């Protein structure tokens, strides 16, 4: 939003999402700072304007993040307190449902970061906190510090995880998520769009994301299997890719994006895979 989707297109996506009963929207202060003419908070501003136009703030669960915007970098207490005000203003709200540490900041003591988040929760500006892009070891350390000091505790994680990006999450963070009963909302649920099934070998697709890392024998084998299984379920390949992710231990809901309302229809379908189908896709993607 504010990058590949204009304000009008974004409103159409959000309208369609809400019409389907969708209520959880994920963003970050640095979205979409990288686009020419943007300074950050572009996505937040669109979401905020949409909620104001609909009068539905109390019906939505809004997650945003701090630490990666170039003008508000890191997880120092001072930066967190300044960044949350910027996000609240952009979102046109007085509270954030889920506030993520967008990336670990090893230059700042975890206790300082968690104390700042605790103060935001006590003030009512934030309801829950979560961690994104933390290693398993650092995530567990943060959880232990919260327990030992009576500080606010990360309730969930958002790391890279999908049918083709499995190794880092499954070998590291997944065990911590399970041990501590956290929720997971992995990003790039569709592997930058590759797992939507729109790519075929040799074809050139107009896209803002580079998916060449997935365009290999393993990737094409997974796509072929997804297409075959999707036919039997009469669903989109995207829905099937997200169904595999949703079935994994510790995953509460996958993050997926739609640039247009028509694309949203592919990802709101909820499909339940059989044990054999899950095992087949898991084996192919190993």
| Residue 32 clears pLDDT 60, i.e. is over it | yes
Q: Write down the number of H helices and E strands in the chain.
A: 11, 8
Q: What is the model's pLDDT at position 14?
A: 97
* 159 touches 187 (CB < 8 A): yes
Residues carrying an active site annotation: 31
Q: What is the model's pLDDT at position 39?
A: 94
| Residue 27 clears pLDDT 60, i.e. is over it | yes
Q: What is the chain's mean pLDDT, rounded?
A: 95
Q: What is the model's pLDDT at position 200?
A: 86
Per domain, the residue ranges of the chain are 1-158
Question: Angle of helix 110-123 relative to helix 136-149, nearest 10 degrees?
Answer: 60
Residues 6 or more apart whose CB falls under 8 angstroms from that of 82 comprise 72
| Per-residue confidence band for 18, with pLDDT thresholds at 50, 70 and 90 | very high
> Which residue's entry shows tokens 């952009």?
90
The string of pLDDT tens digits covering residues 166-206 is 999 999 999 999 999 999 999 999 999 999 999 888 766 66
Q: What is the model's pLDDT at position 207?
A: 60
Q: What is the model's pLDDT at position 208?
A: 57
Q: What is the model's pLDDT at position 205?
A: 62
| Per-residue confidence band for 223, with pLDDT thresholds at 50, 70 and 90 | very high
Q: What is the model's pLDDT at position 199?
A: 87
Q: Is 74 helix (H, G, I), strand (E, B) or coil?
A: coil
From 3.20.20.100, 3.50.50.60, 1.10.730.10, 3.30.70.120, which CATH number describes the 1-158 domain? 3.20.20.100
| Residue 26 clears pLDDT 70, i.e. is over it | yes
The string of pLDDT tens digits covering residues 85-141 is 999 999 999 999 999 999 999 999 999 999 999 999 999 999 999 999 999 999 999
Return contacts of 81-85, CB within 8 angstroms, 24+ apart.
81/116, 81/119, 81/120, 83/29, 84/120, 84/125, 84/126
Cis amide leading into 32 (omega within 30)? yes
Percent helix, percent strand, percent coil in the chain, to nearest 5: 50, 15, 40
The string of pLDDT tens digits covering residues 245-254 is 999 999 999 9
């Amino acid at each position: 939003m504010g990058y590949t989707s204009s304000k009008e297109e974004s409103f159409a996506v959000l309208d369609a999402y809400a019409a389907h009963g969708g209520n959880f929207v994920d963003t970050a202060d640095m979205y979409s700072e990288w686009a020419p003419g943007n300074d950050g908070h572009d996505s937040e501003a669109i979401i905020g304007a949409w909620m104001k136009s609909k009068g539905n703030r109390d019906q939505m669960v809004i997650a945003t993040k701090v630490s990666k915007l170039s003008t508000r970098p890191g997880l120092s207490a001072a930066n967190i307190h300044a960044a949350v005000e910027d996000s609240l203003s952009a979102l046109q709200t007085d509270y954030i449902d889920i506030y993520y540490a967008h990336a670990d900041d090893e230059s700042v003591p975890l206790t300082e970061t968690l104390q700042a988040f605790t103060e935001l929760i006590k003030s009512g500006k934030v309801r829950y906190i979560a961690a994104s892009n933390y290693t398993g070891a650092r995530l567990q350390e943060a959880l232990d510090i919260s327990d030992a000091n009576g500080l606010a505790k990360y309730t969930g994680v958002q790391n890279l995880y999908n049918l083709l990006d499995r190794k880092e999450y499954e070998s590291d963070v997944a065990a911590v998520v399970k041990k501590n009963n956290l929720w997971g909302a992995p990003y790039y649920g569709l592997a930058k769009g590759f797992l939507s099934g729109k790519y075929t070998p040799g074809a050139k697709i107009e896209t803002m994301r580079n998916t060449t890392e997935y365009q290999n024998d393993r990737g094409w084998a997974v796509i072929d299997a997804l297409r075959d299984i999707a036919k039997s379920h009469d669903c989109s390949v995207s829905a099937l890719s997200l169904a595999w992710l949703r079935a994994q231990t510790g995953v509460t809901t996958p993050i997926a994006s739609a640039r247009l309302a028509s694309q949203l229809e592919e990802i709101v379908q909820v499909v339940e895979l059989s044990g054999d189908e899950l095992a087949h896709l898991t084996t192919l993607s190993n």
